[in-house]
Amino acid sequence: MVTGITPREFIDRIQRNRDYHGQIVHVRHIAARRARYADPRMPLPQQIQDALVRSGVEALYEHQAQALDAIRTGQHVIVATPTASGKTLIYNLAVAEAILTEPKARALYLFPTKALAQDQLRALQQLGQAGLPGLQYGLYDGDTPQGNRRRLRQSGSVILTNPDMLHLGILPNHTLWSHFLSHLRYVVLDEAHVYRGVFGSQVACVIRRLLRLCRAYGATPQFIFCSGTIGNPAEHASRLCGMPVHLIDKDGSPQGSREFVLWNPPLVDEALGTRRSASAEAAALLVQFALNGLRSITFARARKAAELLLMYARATLEREAPQLAPLLRTYRAGYRPELRREIEAALFSGELLGVTATNALELGVDIGHLDATVLVGYPGSVTSTWQQVGRAGRGIREALSILIAQDNPLDQYFMRNPEALFGQNPEQALISPDNAYLLQQHLPCAAYERPLSAGDESIFGPGYVQAMIDLERQGTLEYRNERWYYRGRGYPAEQTNLRSASGKRLVLLDESQDYAVMEELDQATAPYRVHPGAVYLHQGETFLIRHLDLAMGIAYASPTEVDYYTQPREINEVRIERTLRSTPMSASQVHFGVLDVTQQVIGYRCVQQFSDTVLATHSLDLPAQAFSTTGLWFEIPADMLRDIEEEGLDVAGGLHALEHAAIAMLPLFAMCDRMDIGGLSTLCHPDTNSATVFIYDAFPGGMGLAEQGFNRMRQLWQTTLKSIRECPCQDGCPGCIQSPKCGNNNEPLDKRAAVELLQALLGEHARH
């Protein structure tokens, strides 16, 4: 490390600090790894080899050579290796070789964020400066001047953009891109693990539209995917592009040793299970890093939290070491591009000691060598955890990583069961490109771009026929001369938001700027995000929602400065539309199928940023939202309920607690956020005539999240039971059975009844 202090020595110093109260619950040593090099079967052209040497690359890692070999044989490829393993070089070399051989060849690079596209542009520039021949490249996004756009369309050999620009700007205007599309050789999707859920499913539809136009122009592009480590990389990439994809996942890059610390804030009240704020712990660690001369990055889940971390750390340093306070900064996606570049450069050069950030810095933006990373709360997936951790210790440097647990079931489960984090296979990235709701948004876009035919079913998949029937009935498409034509005005891509599942959008207006449009939201999720009184973060700034008009599709916001965030509270109703699959378990049957869900936001809580104290609870009167989705459910046998009642326990409270805890643990098996999942528990459901627990995808049409739970139901029950049983609280707490979005104020809940129910469902003998 820069100062000579090792990660182990830093840990020892922290444990001797007067403020240490046993927060370190586990330290995992990850050994260093040497690089493994290899040569491609066929040498790279001499011009490219010379450029590599000039840029400091003497040899290729094993996975880089293997990927190049596979790409050269014409295979679609996904490279799934950790951050800083040299994935960018793979596709840059493949593209450079193609253009050197065939100057008319073109490549399209897709990145999920503008910041990442900017960073990868710099990587291309460095190779170009090193003498890499033939590349004419540029960014094509909403900030690109019109003159540059024309030049890039006509002569750019490599276009760097994002899925939104491809969807809105390129595909609807494909005639302007005819030369580029007719010579498109490679399509690169970097950070492919980000394309999951609704966003990933929408991007998969956009990719199918791109392929359809390329074929019309006589091109058959080859796909190169790069991804962090996920549980199903080849399957995920294949679902994104609709074709078989070859997997490269043996990382040949070197790695320095790492100490990975699990840090649990001390209990404030053992009976209630409440702990000291994770943010307060992170601010204290940030100060210690600075005092010891260690360069660090601290990841917070929210932008306001990142800013508060910096404020508290600077305040402490102003007292203890004022010369260090200016060496800490915060970083967020909402900053102006030039300010982000300035902070990135200061990090890269070593000028800064520390930065607090949201996941805007999780992806592969190069910020140089850091000594330590702190994660304030589990990022939601194993993949994101290692992406964030990998920001420190790049190359062969030693590094320290600290995961600070928040007061929720999944974080606390990892604190008690480290192997669940370190030994578990990464989660599966889930998308559903044949989701009927999404196809009904993208098929009109495709018809506008080029009339549809029966042959397009092979591109869009099994949901194509039914979606076309529905669109024709709605009058959106018109059938004539054996083809379907778009009948609307304008172009439909403008009405389709890639971050939305429902297709209906709501406009958010800034009252302080003459009602300027801030952004557009999915109307189905608007009551959760922009209800009256909600604290909303936009471009790094905090706004208070003054009014929501769902009928008009408008919400009004004003800038504000508050030290709290808001949590919506909901109630719901679930009906079974049809059962698709059932499987017997020890004491029950578990079902998976289509559910009709009605959800209603009935209020919200104001929660203080640093202490997580509930400051106030407010009621709301908003209309219910109805949609069809997929989910799992299981019934509780009557004799099991009688046994619980005979023990004097609250059966309804046990069901409710079981539902909350199972939803909290489902992200162990699917890459999702707790807010992506809904649930219901009831003593007697009208469709089953028995006590039933439902868990469902909170998206129209479903994304396969609950299906992962159905496929691994026994494991889900086991981890849920372990999570509840091991929690040290007496009657239930946010770390085991309470839910932040429960519309019933987490009542009734019975921790012991939930344990008894789960033991019975698993066929275990009750433990008294």
Residue 335 is predicted with a pLDDT of 67
HSE on the CB side for 760, CA within 13 Å? 21
In this structure, the number of other CB atoms found within 10 A of the CB of residue 562 comes to 15
Longest dimension (CA), the chain: 81
Q: What is the DSSP string of 51-69?
A: HHHHTT--S-BHHHHHHHH
pLDDT digits (tens, 9 = 90+) for 397-421: 789 999 999 989 999 999 999 998 9
Question: Which DSSP state fits 405?
Answer: P
C-alpha closest to that of 655 among 641, 671, 672, 674 = 641
**Which pair of tokens denotes residue 29?**
């040593």
Helix axes of 651-665 and 638-646: crossing angle, nearest 10 degrees: 110
Give the DSSP letter string of 268-302.
Answer: EETTTTEE--HHHHHHHHHHHHHHTT--EEEE-SS
CA distances from 121 to 144, 347, 461, 550, 654 (A): 14, 18, 34, 41, 55
Identify residue 355 by its one-letter amino acid code: V
Q: Which of 500, 562, 505 is nearest to 534 (CA)?
A: 562
**Among candidates 504, 507, 484, 508, which has minimal Cα distance to 495?**
504
Predicted local confidence at residue 366, as pLDDT: 57
- CB neighbourhood size of 105 (10 A): 18
Please state, in angstroms and rounded to a whole number, the distance separating the CA atoms of residues 565 and 305: 10
Tell me how far apart the alpha carbons of residues 642 and 445 are, in angstroms, rounded to a whole number.
56
User: Position of tokens 């049809």?
Assistant: 578
Residue 748: asked if its preceding bond is cis (omega within 30°), the reply is yes
Q: How far apart are CA 604 and CA 619, in angstroms?
A: 7
80: which residues sit within 8 A by CB, 6+ positions away?
Answer: 226, 227, 228, 229, 230, 233, 247, 248, 249
> What is the homologous superfamily of the domain 46-248 according to CATH?
P-loop containing nucleotide triphosphate hydrolases (3.40.50.300)
So what's the pLDDT on residue 610? 73
* pLDDT lower than 50: segments of the chain: 1-2, 766-768
CATH classification code of 7-29+256-422:
3.40.50.300
Sorted by sequence, the CB contacts under 8 Å of residue 449 that are 6+ apart come out as 171, 172, 174, 209, 212, 213
Q: Report the distance separating Cα 723 and Cα 417, nearest Å.
A: 9
Map out the domains of the chain as residue ranges: 7-29+256-422, 46-248, 436-495, 505-562, 566-761
Burial 361-383 (b: 16+ CB within 10 A, else e): bbbbbebebbbbbbbbbbbbbbb
The pLDDT of residue 349: 80
What pLDDT does 768 receive?
A: 41
- pLDDT confidence of residue 561: 87
Residue 294 CA to residue 400 CA, distance in Å, equals: 10
Residue 261's DSSP bridge partners are 27, 402
Buried-state track 746-765, b at ≥16 Cβ within 10 A, e below 16: beebbbbbbbbbbbbbeeee
- pLDDT value at residue 434: 87
Task: Determine the residue type at 423.
Answer: G
CA distance 228 to 289: 27
pLDDT number for residue 2: 43
